[in-house]
Amino acid sequence: MKKVTGIGGIFFKSQDPKAMNEWYAKNLGLPTSDYGTTFEWRDAENSSQKASTSWCTFPQDTQYFNPSHKSFMINYRVENLATLLDELKKEGVTIVDEVAEYDYGKFVHIMDPEGNIIELWEPADVKDATESNE
């Protein structure tokens, strides 16, 4: 089973997210907004499939990265989140929360052995492997 298909986003804490966004816009040309920026690209295996990677600053006191105490979080794009979660549970991986579903996909958070929180994202535009076999 294919697990991670790419990086969905890079998120990090900042003492002043607005100033940090402005710095990256001015010095590195990132077209930032209050929500950071989104890099759009095409899938290497299917060039008709559009995809994106987000970059976003968060306030230093955000609770979104909990229970991790680290200042960053990486979001990985995955296929078939439900099956992957079953495999991770069998391996004893810490699952932080329940799967959350939105118009743009399904999300869940896990922890790696060093306490880094990882966000797994199954984009809504990617068909579940079981759906394509029906």
Beta-carbon contacts of 24 under 8 Å, excluding residues fewer than 6 positions away, are 30, 32, 37
What is the domain-level CATH number for residue 45? 3.10.180.10
pLDDT tens by residue, 5-22: 899 999 999 999 999 999
At 68, the amino acid letter reads S
Backbone angles phi, psi at 64, to 5 degrees: -65, -25
Residue 133 lies in a domain: no
Residue 99 lies in a domain: yes
DSSP 21: H
Output the pTM of the full model.
Answer: 0.85
Q: How many distinct structural domains can be found in the chain?
A: 1
Residue 134 lies in a domain: no
Region of residue 80 (phi > 0: left; psi between -120 and 50: alpha; otherwise: beta) = left
Collapse the DSSP code of 108 into the 3-class scheme (helix H, G, I; strand E, B; otherwise coil) and give the result.
strand
Collapse the DSSP code of 68 into the 3-class scheme (helix H, G, I; strand E, B; otherwise coil) and give the result.
coil
pLDDT tens by residue, 37-66: 999 998 888 888 888 999 999 999 999 999
Q: What is the span of the domain harbouring residue 75? A: 4-124
Q: What per-residue confidence (pLDDT) applies to 45?
A: 81
The span from the CA of 49 to the CA of 43, in Å, is: 6
Q: What per-residue confidence (pLDDT) applies to 1?
A: 65
Residue 132 lies in a domain: no
Residue 100 lies in a domain: yes
pLDDT tens by residue, 59-99: 999 999 999 999 999 999 999 999 999 999 999 999 999 99
